[in-house]
Structure 1
């Protein structure tokens, strides 16, 4: 059955129904189909989801020219050639191409080739194993319904904000022109990345942060180094401030942001990047006894707790375990395997935390790269998180500029690495890097943390010389003393 032409029949039955055709939904349906189950995806927007059109892909398309130019400016023989303004129309055009011009034909063709059916429309649960699309078409699931509808940006309850029609992450990654003046509210990943991108593309950017620093979920030095770089790039950073009111007199006109300090900032656009909510407000959770619009509480096989019969799964952002595309895809692989095993009557080994049916990495080894300038990359626990969890730890830091590979990568390289060691087991609990190109270092750290590789064995993982990866050797040397 073609993905674009799924048959319309009363009570169509599939083994697995997936709500949401983002990367999470696509991967879950693919894993279920590969295991011999029939699968259909219900999608109300574009196949490919938030990541493909309004998040990961367009944001990184905007950021890559920024970091490439920044690194080139620090390379002898190249710096004069690249020390020029970015060609904003060319960058935006490339972003448009990366998003396939917000058309999902290619993604639909992939579903078709994978043998996965597609039903377009708003899918709502209508009792156990039953989904109604657009209020009429009925789908039933023999084994499972998986909610993979993702999350959406949340606007805080600030007077005048909703009426001012601010940017969220969607508008920030899809804007057709560079605003003259941009105010960004929020010091997390979206706020930092979009402040980096739009400042480099020519906007005057003010970044407002409620707390005392950037990237609060990473080691403090990550936020400090990124803040220094943003300031050098011309971003006006204000911490410890709150927005009291927002005013926009006319659509498309300037927006005024009033702070609790009494100050006013006037801009052409305002980006709110302060949080996410689950896209579960209109999917019929109440018909199966769950709170309307709630995050879904799941077990490690991603099965929703409290639903009789164990047929409902919540995968990706909707379960609030790790709101990252790669973690959603990871969960999808786990859930797909668990659904297939249960369909065959194979016992799920819930006592095996690193087995095929448990999403353990969501709790112990979540990697994330912030594509700022410089990059910040981390996996596992920070030092503060490890201490709070009760581990007996040792923290080891390394100045990346002291590594030979860093001096070759760029003049005046600035960066830092940290590893957090569990002293009782002598394995890594977490690793953080900040510096140019460090995102490509992170997977080695992820393997070490997820694999619980003993420190003594890491000594035998020899980093190539002269690369920035030699930071691993320096960290281990510092640990051993």
Structure 2
């Protein structure tokens, strides 16, 4: 099939990743006719190049480390690289999105494949090898195009065929030598994964520490673990030039040259709006689409344009993007669907909290699947002080909790609460560092979202002997 077609639906969602799928499904629940546009693989970054494959690459090393820390368990030795990569290929379905496309159809959504560009209000052109489709929305368009890796302006870098997170999670071989540029979440996770699979990894970080968005102690513990695992970490270092030749990739720093087989750039991401045609709407290509708490685009008249996930600049995780998607799906369904009660509730500010993405402001959970894991939610101590709160910090060494000693005599980790003393020690932030620390995060997320004071949590009795007993230790340390 070729040529130009025209299609009119109630709602168009641009971007068929996990966030877009959720927005489209939610919006369609009151009978709206929804089209989902995707130019690559349905399921998006998380399913094929980020969350899922990266965690599959990281898990075997974590399991091996756990075995080594457990008395009576034989050291499993080196990882079976072929088996790890095969499992990664299985979890990504070999980068085949057939099952995801089938789900789209079963949910009653219309899948339109191709690259979308705005041509006017409520109107897009979608171009593919099959031809061009003019797609018009009667009511709303939701942008869920996510973000893409940024390449810093380093001499020769773009021509050196660097890895980004996509190549790092989809690689079919283990590079003998890998240089990673960037000490954020992607850089730390990929340095951890590929080191566990046998790469000689050098992590190059411009700043004085890693995981700058977390509490400083979290970065310090992970840095120590990376070095213990054989990763060479260069702090306060910056790549000045990169070039590739027959012998590999060469990264020039201020005072030395690093020779490697691959270089991974993990220095940040930018919203995927550069080739979306947003300029016809008065928005800036390449910039985030600013939205209000109903996820409606700011600066676009008519209340028809919405955006969710990474593309807004508000969130940078799949789970938070999916939360945005559920909110925007409810907003669109309420404003334009056939449920009169929902329209009435949504029109009344604050009537139903699900029509506002309030969790994006101070209750965002984040997990780094390093070894040890880092998990935090809400404000760090520095962020809380910057916000003018009356900050009180309570911390505890996880190795001193009975449950940790059961897991391993070598258990290392630390946990910290950030409290607002001006509101009876309400929990406004929490950080956990240690093996499987992510599993302790949701209790803290509930406390932050619920604005629960520590005095109330004193009556939430943790099970013994679990590492979560740290909640009791928090209360005791605070003087309760």
Query: What's the TM-score bracket when you normalise by the shorter of the two chains?
Result: over 0.9
Residues 22 and 50 in structure 1, CA contact (< 8 A), matched pair in contact too: yes
What residue is the counterpart of 2:340 in the other structure?
none
Counterpart among 42, 46, 53 of residue 47 in structure 1? 42
Deviations 1:273-295 (A, max 9, x none): 00101111111101211112221
The range that moved more, 240-249 or 214-223, is 240-249
Instruction: Say yes or no: does 1:303 pair with 2:296.
Output: yes
* TM-fit CA distance, 1:8: 10
What residue is the counterpart of 2:177 in the other structure?
181
> How far, CA to CA, are the matches of 1:228 and 1:308 in structure 2?
51
Deviations 1:161-216 (A, max 9, x none): 00111100000000000000000010000000000000010000001100011100
* TM-fit CA distance, 1:10: 4.7
What residue is the counterpart of 2:248 in the other structure?
254
Q: Which runs of 5+ in 1 are unaligned?
A: none
Secondary structure (helix, strand or coil) at the match of 2:69 reads: coil
What residue is the counterpart of 2:285 in the other structure?
292
Counterpart among 51, 55, 58 of residue 56 in structure 1? 51
> How far, CA to CA, are the matches of 1:271 and 1:25 in structure 2?
28
> How far, CA to CA, are the matches of 1:160 and 1:350 in structure 2?
55
Matches within 5 A, 1:142-291: 142-250=138-246, 253-260=247-254, 262-291=255-284
> How far, CA to CA, are the matches of 2:114 and 2:351 in structure 1?
37
* TM value normalised by structure 2: 0.96
> How far, CA to CA, are the matches of 1:49 and 1:77 in structure 2?
42
* TM-fit CA distance, 1:247: 1.5
What residue is the counterpart of 1:25 in the other structure?
20
* TM-fit CA distance, 1:352: 3.1
Secondary structure (helix, strand or coil) at the match of 1:73 reads: helix
> How far, CA to CA, are the matches of 1:21 and 1:341 in structure 2?
22
With over 3 angstroms needed to count, the CA separation of the structure-2 counterparts of 1:350 and 1:450, relative to structure 1, is farther
> How far, CA to CA, are the matches of 2:353 and 2:231 in structure 1?
46
The range that moved more, 36-45 or 336-345, is 336-345
Q: Which runs of 5+ in 2 are unaligned?
A: 338-342
Residues 353 and 360 in structure 1, CA contact (< 8 A), matched pair in contact too: no
What residue is the counterpart of 2:431 in the other structure?
432
* TM-fit CA distance, 1:346: 3.2
Residues 231 and 237 in structure 1, CA contact (< 8 A), matched pair in contact too: yes
Deviations 1:222-245 (A, max 9, x none): 000001111110000110011111
With over 3 angstroms needed to count, the CA separation of the structure-2 counterparts of 1:268 and 1:350, relative to structure 1, is farther
Residues 345 and 352 in structure 2, CA contact (< 8 A), matched pair in contact too: no
Root mean square deviation, CA, Å:
1.6
Instruction: Say yes or no: does 1:327 pair with 2:304.
Output: no
Residues 29 and 333 in structure 2, CA contact (< 8 A), matched pair in contact too: no
What residue is the counterpart of 1:67 in the other structure?
62
What residue is the counterpart of 2:412 in the other structure?
414
Counterpart among 68, 77, 85 of residue 78 in structure 2? 85
Counterpart among 93, 99, 109 of residue 100 in structure 1? 93
Secondary structure (helix, strand or coil) at the match of 1:126 reads: strand
What residue is the counterpart of 2:472 in the other structure?
473
> How far, CA to CA, are the matches of 1:259 and 1:10 in structure 2?
53
> How far, CA to CA, are the matches of 1:279 and 1:172 in structure 2?
20
Instruction: Say yes or no: does 1:458 pair with 2:453.
Output: no
Secondary structure (helix, strand or coil) at the match of 1:241 reads: coil
Residues 350 and 357 in structure 1, CA contact (< 8 A), matched pair in contact too: no
